[in-house]
């Protein structure tokens, strides 16, 4: 049945092992991020198999799926006040930036008889989550000392997610300075100094990378084989852990330019087409309900995606490396957004190889 995504668990595990070895050598613990594959337990199990100690997720719905897995669990997205009970129940550590949220976590943790661990996020200018004013950070830590049931065990930052800010050694040094200041002011030794996500990976090659940074939270390198500061491939990893297959339902020579007066397409956009004469056009039974076109990388480099709608994709297969026929499949590697799309679409079959 198509469309389907082939998930190569051995390749995924290889990617984790390659990165883990490098991190181990540098004394850095890596959190295995599972949100891009919807916290799928079969895939997440490879984090455990590869020897990771911690899984990190942005959604509690996904952490619930992983509840039976004997591994430390981190909630990456700042908790909603409406989900505090489940945060305490399903995660061991959460990332936070709001004192009021910490107060609620404290009350609930006491209620459940637990101690919940907290990593405070600092914003260095990427302008997604995190405490922006350093004094606010110290004030939150001071206040948290009076809150039973929670413990601030680390600080972290997140870059290249919203503002596309590239991590630098200077960002890492800022984190280290905050760690030292926390030690000075409160005599607290923080366990986790978390230097970022797949975009901070490239800094490991820099001699000035401070040894105090002892944690990264990694998803994309494991699933795509790429670091994300510059989009470079990571040596020894695979970029085809996830491969999407779609079936051809029509194959005909047709013009490249629509015939008739031009209005708007199915999504209200005014398309622009170039007249290249006749071409061999394939329609695949796959559409926006399965995955966005932007998230796909054609494996046959001789063909081209022309566009698509909810349930159809139109391709120019004139220059194809194969002679396609109706009933054949077209294969794609997936970018981060593509993996997110296929893993959240109930229409895409998941096949483990």
Ligand X SMILES: *Cc1c(COP(=O)(O)O)cnc(C)c1O
| Footprint on this chain of ligand X (rule: CB under 6 A) | 33, 35, 58, 76, 95, 158, 197-198, 217-220, 228
50/246 with CB nearer ligand X: 50
54/197 with CB nearer ligand X: 197
Q: How far is the CB of 194 from ligand X (least distance, A)?
A: 8
Q: How far is the CB of 226 from ligand X (least distance, A)?
A: 10
15/345 with CB nearer ligand X: 15
Contact 241, 308 (CB under 8 A): no
179/217 with CB nearer ligand X: 217
Q: Residue 190: which residues within 8 A CB-CB, separation 6 or more? A: 152, 153, 154, 155, 179, 182, 183
Q: How far is the CB of 201 from ligand X (least distance, A)?
A: 8
Contact 331, 243 (CB under 8 A): yes
Active site residues: 35
Q: How far is the CB of 197 from ligand X (least distance, A)?
A: 3
Tally the residues of the chain. Answer: 353
**C-alpha 275, offset from chain centre:** 39
Contact 298, 304 (CB under 8 A): yes
Task: Return the beta strands (E) in 189-334 as ranges.
Answer: 192-194, 215-218, 242-255, 278-284, 296-298, 304-308, 313-316, 329-334
Residue 137's SS3 state is helix
Taking CB positions, which residue lies at the least distance from ligand X? 219
209/347 with CB nearer ligand X: 209
> Rounded to whole angstroms, how far apart are CA atoms 313 and 122?
42
> Rounded to whole angstroms, how far apart are CA atoms 342 and 150?
37
Angle (CA) 175 171 77, round 5° = 70
Q: How far is the CB of 96 from ligand X (least distance, A)?
A: 11
């Amino acid at each position: 049945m198509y469309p389907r995504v082939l998930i190569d668990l051995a390749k995924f595990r290889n990617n984790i092992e390659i990165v883990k070895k490098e991190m181990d050598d540098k004394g850095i613990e890596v959190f295995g991020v599972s949100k891009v594959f919807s916290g799928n337990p079969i895939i997440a199990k490879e984090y455990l198999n590869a020897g990771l100690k911690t899984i990190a997720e942005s959604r509690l719905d996904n952490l619930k799926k992983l509840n039976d897995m004997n591994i430390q669990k981190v909630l990456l997205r700042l908790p909603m006040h409406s989900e505090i009970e489940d945060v305490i129940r399903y995660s061991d550590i959460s990332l936070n930036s709001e004192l009021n949220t910490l107060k609620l976590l404290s009350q609930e943790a006491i209620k459940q008889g637990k101690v919940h661990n907290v990593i405070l996020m600092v914003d260095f200018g990427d302008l997604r989550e995190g405490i922006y004013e350093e004094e606010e950070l110290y004030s939150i830590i001071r206040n948290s000392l009076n809150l039973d049931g929670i413990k601030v065990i680390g600080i972290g930052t997140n870059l290249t997610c919203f503002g596309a800010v590239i991590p630098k050694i200077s960002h890492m040094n800022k984190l280290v300075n905050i760690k030292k200041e926390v030690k000075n002011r409160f005599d607290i030794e923080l366990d986790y100094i978390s230097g970022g996500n797949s975009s901070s990976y490239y800094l490991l090659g820099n001699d000035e990378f401070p040894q105090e940074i002892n944690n990264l939270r990694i998803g994309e390198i494991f699933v795509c084989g790429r670091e994300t500061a510059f989009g470079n491939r990571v040596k020894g990893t695979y970029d085809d852990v996830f491969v999407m297959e779609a079936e051809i339902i029509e194959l005909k020579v047709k013009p490249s330019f629509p015939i008739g007066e031009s209005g708007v397409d199915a999504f209200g956009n005014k398309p622009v087409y170039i007249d290249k004469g006749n071409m061999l056009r394939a329609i695949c039974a796959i559409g926006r309900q399965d995955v966005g076109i932007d998230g796909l990388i054609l494996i046959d480099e001789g063909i081209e995606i022309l566009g698509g709608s909810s349930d159809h994709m139109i391709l120019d297969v004139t220059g194809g490396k194969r002679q396609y026929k109706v009933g054949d499949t077209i294969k794609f590697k997936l970018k981060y957004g593509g993996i997110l799309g296929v893993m959240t679409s109930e229409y895409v079959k998941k096949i483990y190889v």
